[in-house]
């Protein structure tokens, strides 16, 4: 990847985009450092190769493979950030953030506030997750609501290579901790390549399609399920607006509220289980702000309330699919 | 060990000054809480004065320290001004953290006090990161991670010693073994010495009499020199005893009365004071004057703190992120 930075192809996948974003950030600022399990080149640049090439290019002082010690990884990132570094720490899979919860929730998210602004924690915690690769209950949870519920940490989840690049650059620039959620099953899908130094602001959603009947709010892999749903709904005479949230915390209330005020109907789609999820928060705000304008109750469409199953048909049924989105939208129109 | 460093006369007096400051500040804290002038969770470091005093005289303001809820001794020894401390524990806007951290979360980077945590065992992973920063910059700074004997049983301890060892970080892990983890005695929670665990990670580990300023000073100097020379981390298990219950108000029924009485009879602060005089290092008059000066500074700090304003509610939204969000 690193060797391709000079002349970038017009197409890139998310994995390449994140790699390029970290490389470009490291090139621009010596304080950007990378750590995590297997992240350096002798260890193959991470299990999926997201950080491949970085240690060869920037040296193994700045790109360090760690022991399997999630608390130590996030702790080291926090400590280095307190003294001016901008660490990009990889937690191999999102379920393993649970092992480092103390460091993330009690320390990274709170040190700025508890110190009255004297210290701050400009770290990026990169992590991967997503159903669809047959890993069962402990390797593919979306836990974004846990972090979004914690004051002091930002949460982003890009769905395209351009956004992945732009959000990663913004996350590294950000003076506060950012949890960067990568969707593993979408890593290798080629799409429009980002240009160097492209930025996507944290906290800004993207309107992917305009519509007048219903607003569908989604992020990460659910965008891939929602795009064909929008096309199918159009064929059925329903005009759907699709918003890619991109940033979960803080979410783009202005864009979402403006859209739902126009369409009068809203559905939030996420891969995380439905109860107590991001959909509940957004739905609640929509009710509070747009009570008189809603033509139907706000709909939440999330994963089933169970551990992610291994068996293929169950795994597929776990997360919302295009057909579910279409059916739910039609029900809202009825 | 032979040829261990010995503090010179001036350093001995400075160690004592820090010890006396910690002891006086502890006594005043208890009094101020008792008389109802201030409400705060308070974890007394009484009995543990020697450890940070004998370490910090070999550190500079640039060196880093991480400590825990029971950390006022570590903070004062590292140079935290009394006024800033008192205003913080009183929750006032003039405190180190504008009153938003409180006694369990005092931060003061000006003197290298980078993190005070209420979570057992959490100083060590972060201390590694501070030390990693020093290693990357080659700035020669040392980081001290303080923690209790109870914390030595937390996973973060093991992860941190291992990482510091493989990365050869300039960090010193200082276990202040006061024999208690809340209400539970150390020997009920582990069958091994904390210091012996260093061997598992291939780093030097030493159990020291943490109530002996000379022994503590020597052990700390060696660890600091090793860290500054790029030779990696050290684990020090400093043996001491907690004079009071875990937290202010704790009736300490679980503590053995005789053991406690013996420890208090052997109070390290008057013991070192007597030694300084016996050795002709300091005179009685000199120490009396020093102690009076400390009391006066504490008087001033307490009054300053209690006269200071509380932060306005707008502070709820501030410092959550760099920018204020709705
Ligand atoms: C992770 C965690 N578990 C439990 C507690 C509750 N707690 C606070 S202090 C303490 C005892 C810790 O003892 P030790 O580490 O020996 O430190 P000491 O208080 O003796 O200085 C406990 C259990 C906590 N703060 N954090």
Instruction: Quick: pLDDT tens for A168-208.
Output: 999 999 999 999 999 999 999 999 999 999 999 999 999 99
Kindly report the nearest CA distance between residue A165 and chain B, in angstroms. Answer: 22
The pLDDT assigned to A180 comes to 98
| Pocket flag, ligand 1, residue B171 (CB < 6 Å) | no
Quote the CA–CA distance of A6 and A20 in Å, as a whole number. Answer: 11
Is the minimum CB–CB distance between A223 and chain B shorter than 8 Å?
A: no
| The token pair that represents A15 in the structure block | 């994995």
Tell me the CA distances in angstroms from A12 to A162, A168, A187, one per residue in order.
9, 15, 10
Residue B312 within any structural domain of the chain: no
The model's pTM: 0.95
Is the minimum CB–CB distance between B302 and chain A shorter than 8 Å?
A: no
- Picking from A76, A82, A152, the nearest residue to B163 by CB comes out as A76
Closest C-alpha among A170, A177, A171 to residue A80: A177
Residue B321 within any structural domain of the chain: no
CATH code, domain with B256: 3.40.50.970
Quote the CA–CA distance of B314 and A81 in Å, as a whole number. Answer: 27
| Interval B75-86 mean pLDDT | 98
Residue B320 within any structural domain of the chain: no
The pLDDT assigned to B188 comes to 94
Residue B141 within any structural domain of the chain: yes
Computed from CA positions of residues B65, B70, B72, B73, in that sequence, does the dihedral angle turn out positive or negative? negative
Q: A83-95, pLDDT tens digit by residue?
A: 999 999 999 999 9
Helices (H) and strands (E) in chain A, counts: 12, 14
How would you class A27 by CB atoms within 10 Å of its CB: exposed for 0-12, middle for 13-18, buried for 19 or more?
middle
Residue B24 within any structural domain of the chain: yes
Contact B131 A111 (CB under 8 A): no
Q: B165-220, pLDDT tens digit by residue?
A: 999 999 999 999 999 999 999 999 999 999 999 999 999 999 999 999 999 999 99
Is the minimum CB–CB distance between A88 and chain B shorter than 8 Å?
A: no
Q: Are B84 and B27 a contacting pair, CB within 8 Å?
A: no
Q: B83-137, pLDDT tens digit by residue?
A: 999 999 999 999 999 999 999 999 999 999 999 999 999 999 999 999 999 999 9
Closest C-alpha among A170, A81, A93, A102 to residue A126: A93
Q: A258-308, pLDDT tens digit by residue?
A: 999 999 999 999 999 999 999 999 999 999 999 999 999 999 999 999 999
**Banded model confidence at residue A1, pLDDT cuts 50, 70, 90:** very low
Residue B204 within any structural domain of the chain: yes
| The token pair that represents A215 in the structure block | 């607003």
Domain range for B177: 9-305
Could you tell me which chain A residue has the CA closest to the CA of B117?
A: A107
Concatenate the DSSP letters of all residues of A270-329 into one string.
Answer: EEEESTTSHHHHHHHHHHHHHGGG-SSPPEEEEE-SSPPPSSHHHHHHHS--HHHHHHHH
**Banded model confidence at residue B37, pLDDT cuts 50, 70, 90:** very high
Give A67 Cα–ligand 1 centroid separation in angstroms: 26
Concatenate the DSSP letters of all residues of A211-254 into one string.
Answer: -SSEEEEE-TTHHHHHHHHHHHHHHTT--EEEEE--EEET--HH
Q: A124-175, pLDDT tens digit by residue?
A: 999 999 999 889 999 999 999 999 999 999 999 999 999 999 999 999 999 9
Does A111 have pLDDT greater than 60? yes
- Picking from B119, B132, B325, the nearest residue to A76 by CB comes out as B132
Does A8 have pLDDT greater than 80? no
Instruction: Name residues whose C-beta falls within 8 Å of residue A306's C-beta, 6 or more positions apart in sequence.
Output: A273, A318
Residue B326 within any structural domain of the chain: no
How would you class A310 by CB atoms within 10 Å of its CB: exposed for 0-12, middle for 13-18, buried for 19 or more?
exposed
Residues of A classed as catalytic: 70, 139
The pLDDT assigned to B326 comes to 62
Closest C-alpha among A221, A139, A144 to residue A186: A221
Closest C-alpha among B23, B4, B1 to residue B287: B23
Quote the CA–CA distance of B78 and B8 in Å, as a whole number. Answer: 19
Quote the CA–CA distance of A105 and A1 in Å, as a whole number. Answer: 33
Residues of A in contact with B230 (CB under 8 A): none
Angle between helices B82-89 and B284-307 (to 10 degrees): 40
Contact A71 B125 (CB under 8 A): yes
Is the minimum CB–CB distance between A71 and chain B shorter than 8 Å?
A: yes
ipTM: 0.93
| Pocket flag, ligand 1, residue B124 (CB < 6 Å) | no
Q: B285-294, pLDDT tens digit by residue?
A: 999 999 999 9
Residue B235 within any structural domain of the chain: yes
What is the count of structural domains for chain B?
1
| Pocket flag, ligand 1, residue B55 (CB < 6 Å) | no
Burial B55-86 (b: 16+ CB within 10 A, else e): bbbbbeeebbbbbbbbbbbbbbbbbbbbbbbb
- Picking from A80, A154, A176, the nearest residue to B132 by CB comes out as A80
């Amino acid at each position: 990847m690193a060797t391709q930075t000079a002349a970038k192809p017009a197409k890139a996948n998310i994995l390449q985009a994140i790699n390029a974003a970290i490389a470009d950030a490291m090139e621009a600022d010596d304080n950007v450092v990378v750590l995590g399990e297997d992240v350096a080149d002798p260890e193959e640049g991470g299990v999926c190769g997201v950080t491949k090439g970085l240690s060869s290019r920037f040296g193994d002082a700045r790109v360090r493979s760690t022991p399997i010690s999630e608390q130590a990884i996030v702790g080291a990132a926090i400590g280095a950030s307190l003294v001016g570094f901008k660490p990009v720490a990889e937690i191999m899979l999102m379920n393993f953030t649970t092992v480092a919860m103390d460091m993330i929730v009690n320390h990274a998210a709170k040190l700025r506030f508890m110190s009255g602004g004297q210290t701050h924690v400009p770290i990026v915690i990169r992590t991967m997750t997503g159903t669809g690769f047959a890993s069962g209950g402990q390797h593919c949870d979306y836990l974004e609501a846990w972090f979004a519920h914690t004051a002091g940490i930002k949460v982003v989840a890009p769905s395209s290579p351009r956004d992945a690049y732009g959000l990663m650059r913004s996350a590294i620039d950000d003076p506060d901790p950012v949890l960067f959620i990568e969707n593993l099953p979408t890593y290798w899908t080629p799409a429009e390549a980002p240009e160097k130094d492209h930025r996507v602001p944290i906290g800004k959603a993207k309107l992917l399609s305009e519509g007048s009947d219903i607003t569908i709010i989604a992020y990460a892999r659910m965008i891939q399920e929602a795009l064909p749903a929008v096309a199918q709904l159009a064929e059925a005479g329903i005009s759907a607006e699709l918003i890619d949230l991109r940033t979960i915390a803080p979410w783009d209330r202005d864009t979402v509220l403006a859209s739902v005020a126009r369409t009068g109907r809203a559905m939030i789609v996420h891969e995380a289980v439905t109860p107590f999820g991001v959909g509940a928060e957004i739905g609640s705000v929509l009710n509070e702000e747009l009570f008189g304008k809603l033509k139907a109750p706000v709909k939440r469409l999330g994963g089933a309330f169970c551990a992610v199953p291994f068996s293929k048909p169950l795994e597929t049924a776990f997360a919302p699919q295009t057909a579910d989105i279409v059916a739910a939208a039609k029900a809202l129109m009825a | 060990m032979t040829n261990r460093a010995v503090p010179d006369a001036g350093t001995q007096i400075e160690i004592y000054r820090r010890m006396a400051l910690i002891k006086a500040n502890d006594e005043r804290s208890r009094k101020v809480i008792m008389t109802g002038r201030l409400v705060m969770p308070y974890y007394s470091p009484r009995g543990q004065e020697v450890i940070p005093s004998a370490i910090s005289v070999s550190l500079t303001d640039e060196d880093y320290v991480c400590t825990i809820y029971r950390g006022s001794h570590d903070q004062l020894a590292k140079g935290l001004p009394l006024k800033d401390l008192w205003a913080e524990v009183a929750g006032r806007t003039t405190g180190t953290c504008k009153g938003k951290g409180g006694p369990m979360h005092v931060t003061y980077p000006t003197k290298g006090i980078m993190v005070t945590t209420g979570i057992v065992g959490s100083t060590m992973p972060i201390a590694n990161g501070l030390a990693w920063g020093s290693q990357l910059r080659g700035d020669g700074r040392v980081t001290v991670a303080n923690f209790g004997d109870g914390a030595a049983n937390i996973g973060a301890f093991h992860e941190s010693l291992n990482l510091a060892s493989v990365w050869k970080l300039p960090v010193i892990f200082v276990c202040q073994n006061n024999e208690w983890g809340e209400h539970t005695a150390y020997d009920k929670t582990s069958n091994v010495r904390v210091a012996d665990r260093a061997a598992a990670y291939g780093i030097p580990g030493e159990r020291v009499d943490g109530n002996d300023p000379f022994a503590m000073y020597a052990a700390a100097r060696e660890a600091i020199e090793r860290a500054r020379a790029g030779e990696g981390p050290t684990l020090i298990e400093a043996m001491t005893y907690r004079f009071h219950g875990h937290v202010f108000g704790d009736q300490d029924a679980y503590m053995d009365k005789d053991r406690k009485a013996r420890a208090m009879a052997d109070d390290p602060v008057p013991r070192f004071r007597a030694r300084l005089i016996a050795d002709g290092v300091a005179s009685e008059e000199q120490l009396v004057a020093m102690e009076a000066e400390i009391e006066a500074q504490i008087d001033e700090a307490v009054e300053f703190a209690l006269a200071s304003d509380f932060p306005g509610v707008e502070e709820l939204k501030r410092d959550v992120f760099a920018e204020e969000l709705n």
